[in-house]
Structure 1
Amino acid sequence: MKAISYRRYGGPEILEYGERPEPKVGPDSVLIRVKAAAVNPVDWKAQAGYLEPVLDAVFPVIPGWDVAGVVEQPGPAVTEFRPGDEVIGYVREDFLSRGTCAEYVAAPIRTLARKPRNLSFTQAAGIPLAGLTAYQCLVRALRVGEGDTVLVHAAAGGVGSMAVQLARHMGARVIGTAGERNHEYLRALGAEPTVYGDGLADRVRALAPNGVDAVLDLVGGDALAVSSELLAPEGRLASIADPAVLGLGGRYVFVRPDPDDLQDLTDLAERGALGVEVSAVFPLQKTADAQRLSMEGHVRGKIAITVD
C-alpha cells in the first residue's frame, strides 16, 4: 500500500512517500480503507520525539491518528462492523507505528464509531481527536452545564472550534480567544470573541465581571496563568497544553479513544449541533506540506489529508 512514513525523529522533511506492507488485522480490529485523515499538532510533535517519554516508536512509523474510511475486513472477533461500513476513528495505540496516513489502517474497534452520514469523509476525518478532546474536557474535566460561562483559548482552532460548539449545545455562554480575522467565524459558532495577548484579563473581565465558571486552555504558558485569575468561586480549569495546570488546582487532560464518546459526536454532527471547518486539504503525498501549515499555528478548524 502507499503510505507516508518516517524512519527517525525529525521534522516534516523526514517524511517519505512510498510502499509499506498492508497491516495485519488482529482479532479485535478492522482493516479500514482510508478515505481521509487529518493533521493535528500532536502528529508533528510525536514525530519530533516529544512524546518519547510515554510512547515508544517502532520505526518506520506511519503518522496520523484521525481517520475516516470504509471497513474492508473485520477481525475474527469483531461483530460491531461489517465490510462496507463507513467509520471514523481516533486510532491511537500505546506506541507509534501504525498510523492513518496510508491507504489502509488496522484499527482496534475501541477507537471507532460510525461516520456521520451528513459529512463528507474529509469533514468527518476532522472529528475524532479534536472532537474527543473537546468533549472529554468539557464533560468530564470541567463538568460544563446549562448557564455556565466558559472561556476557550485558541477557540478558532481544531479543538477550540469543537469546544465552542459543544459548550453552546450544553447551554453554556462561551467567550473565545482568537485573532481578529477569526472573530466573525467565532460569532457564527455562537461564541463571543476577544483578542488574546496583553490585556486579556481586562477584556475577559469586561465580558464576565463575576468571573468565568470554566476555562479550557489549549495554549499553555501565559494564557494558562491568566486563566486562573479569571475564575469565579468554584470555577474549574483544564488544559491540554500545559501540565502546570495541576499546580493551579486544575485538570491536565490527555485525550483517550472512547467509542461511546465518538458515537455521541457522530450523533451531534447528524443533528446539526457539530460541524467541521476544513481550512486546507492535501493529497497523501503532500503530508509534509500539511504538517508545515499546521506548525504555523494559525489554522482555522482542521487540515485534511485525502487518500485516492
Structure 2
Amino acid sequence: MQQHNDGLRNGTSRAVRLESFGGPEALTVQDVSEPQAGDGQIRVQVTAASLNPMDWFMTADAETAARFGLSLPAGFGTDYAGVVDQVGAGVSGYAVGNRVFGAALSRAVADFVVVDADGNIASGVAHHTPDDIDDRTAATLSIAGSTAAAALAVLDLGPDDTVLVGGAGGGVGVFAVQLARIAGARVIGTGSPSTAEHLRSLGAEPVAYGDGLTGRVRDLDAGPVTAALDLHGTDTVHVARELGLPDGRICTIAAVVDGVPAANGANAAPDALDNIAALVAAGRLRVPIAATFPVEDIRAAVELQAARHVRGKVVIDL
C-alpha cells in the first residue's frame, strides 16, 4: 500500500458525527480512529466538504436515515475534495498525492474518507481534480452537479428551448441554469425578488416565485416555455402544466408527481462530473460559494444551508 503520512494524529482524526438523529444540534466534531484503505480502495485526506439539502434531510430522523442505509453513530455530509494519501492493493489510476473530488454518502465532513476506486455515491467515488480548480470549488461539484446533469439529460435541451427552472438560485440551480445555457436554451429562473441579480449573473431571466407565477411567466414575453425543471417541490410542475407543457417535458428532483419524470445524481451519465469539472476549469461554468466555515462551526454552517436562502454553496474547511 502506498501511504502519505502528513497531518496524521497518532491514529486518530476528526469527523463530524451524530449519536442521535436530528437537526444541527445533533452534530459534533469527534476524534475517531483513522479509516484505512483496503483492497480496491483509496483514502483521501479531505481539505474541503460542501453541504447539500440531502445531508440534513436524510439524518433528520431514524426512519428517513434507514431509507438511505444509515444507522447510528453516523457521519455527515457527502461532497468532498482533497488529496489521495493511501492507495490499496489492486488500485490503478490513482497515486498518493493526486488531487481528487467526489462523494461519500454521509461521511464526507471528516479529515479522511475511504472510497472505492471504482465506486458509486454509496460506497464512495473519486474523480481527478483539474489543476485549474481549487479544492473548495471541487468540493461543490458532485451531488449538485450530477443531479443537474441527470435532470437536463431528461429534458434534452437545445437552442430552440425555453426552460422554466423552479428554485434556480439554489445549489442544484447554479449548475442547472448554466448547463442549460451552455446547451443553448433560454432560461427563466424562479426565486425571491432579492435573488434577481444573482439569477441574471448565472444567465437566467428572473421571475418571482409564488402565487401568480404562471401569469408572470407569460408576461415576460419569452415565447412558449418548452420545458420545466422543478428543483424544490411541485409548484413549478403545476405552473408548467398550466402553461401547456406535456409531462414528458417536465422534470423533478425533490418530489414525485405521477406522469412526471424524476431525476437524481445516481442516474447521471458516467462522464457527467468530469465534463462539468472541465467546464469549470475552462471558465465556462462558475460555482458561487456563499460561505465557508471551519469544521468546528459545522452547526452554524448547516443552519445557514438548511434555511434554503443561500445563493450558491456552503463549504466546510478541514
TM-score (norm 1): 0.91
What's 1:106 paired with?
114
1:20-99 to 2 correspondences below 5 Å: 20-49=32-61, 51-52=64-65, 54-92=67-105, 99=107
Going from structure 1 to structure 2, the CA distance change for 1:26 and 1:251 (only over 3 Å counts) comes to farther
- Tell me the CA shift for residue 16 of structure 1: 1.3
Do residues 3 (structure 1) and 15 (structure 2) align? Answer: yes
- Tell me the CA shift for residue 198 of structure 1: 1.1
Letter in 1 for 2:264: F
Q: Going by fraction, where is strand more abundant, 1 or 2?
A: 1
1:108-187 to 2 correspondences below 5 Å: 108-109=116-117, 110=119, 111-139=125-153, 141-187=154-200
Is the partner of 1:289 in helix, strand or coil?
helix
Percent identity over paired residues: 39
- Asked if 2 retains the 8 angstrom alpha-carbon contact of 1:114 and 1:266, the reply is no
- Asked if 2 retains the 8 angstrom alpha-carbon contact of 1:87 and 1:114, the reply is yes
In 2, Cα distance between equivalents of 1:204 and 1:180: 14
- Tell me the CA shift for residue 209 of structure 1: 6.3
Gaps of 5+ in 1: none
- Tell me the CA shift for residue 103 of structure 1: 0.4
1:88-117: per-residue Cα shift (whole Å, max 9, x none)? 10223xxx5xx1110000122332211132
Is the partner of 1:203 in helix, strand or coil?
helix
Going from structure 1 to structure 2, the CA distance change for 1:20 and 1:168 (only over 3 Å counts) comes to same
1:114-149: per-residue Cα shift (whole Å, max 9, x none)? 11322221122111111111011102x211222211
What's 1:286 paired with?
297
Going from structure 1 to structure 2, the CA distance change for 1:149 and 1:44 (only over 3 Å counts) comes to same
Do residues 253 (structure 1) and 263 (structure 2) align? Answer: yes
In 1, Cα distance between equivalents of 2:276 and 2:58: 25
- Asked if 2 retains the 8 angstrom alpha-carbon contact of 1:211 and 1:232, the reply is no
Going from structure 1 to structure 2, the CA distance change for 1:154 and 1:302 (only over 3 Å counts) comes to same
1:63-100: per-residue Cα shift (whole Å, max 9, x none)? 111001101112212111111111110223xxx5xx11
In 2, Cα distance between equivalents of 1:46 and 1:201: 32
What's 2:237 paired with?
224
In 1, Cα distance between equivalents of 2:247 and 2:72: 46
In 2, Cα distance between equivalents of 1:21 and 1:164: 41
In 2, Cα distance between equivalents of 1:145 and 1:234: 18
User: More displaced, 22-31 or 185-194?
Assistant: 22-31
In 1, Cα distance between equivalents of 2:24 and 2:34: 23
In 2, Cα distance between equivalents of 1:38 and 1:106: 17
In 1, Cα distance between equivalents of 2:130 and 2:166: 27
- Asked if 2 retains the 8 angstrom alpha-carbon contact of 1:34 and 1:67, the reply is yes
What's 2:279 paired with?
268
Gaps of 5+ in 2: 1-12, 120-124
Do residues 277 (structure 1) and 288 (structure 2) align? Answer: yes
- Tell me the CA shift for residue 240 of structure 1: 0.9
Instruction: Say how many residue pairs are matched.
Output: 298
Is the partner of 1:61 in helix, strand or coil?
coil
Letter in 1 for 2:58: A
- Asked if 2 retains the 8 angstrom alpha-carbon contact of 1:212 and 1:235, the reply is no
Match of 1:215 among 209, 217, 228: 228
Is the partner of 2:72 in helix, strand or coil?
strand
Match of 2:201 among 188, 191, 199: 188
Is the partner of 1:80 in helix, strand or coil?
coil
User: More displaced, 57-66 or 231-240?
Assistant: 231-240
Is the partner of 2:101 in helix, strand or coil?
strand
Letter in 2 for 1:137: A
- Tell me the CA shift for residue 210 of structure 1: 5.0
- Asked if 2 retains the 8 angstrom alpha-carbon contact of 1:151 and 1:175, the reply is yes
Going from structure 1 to structure 2, the CA distance change for 1:233 and 1:291 (only over 3 Å counts) comes to closer
CA RMSD of aligned residues (A): 1.8
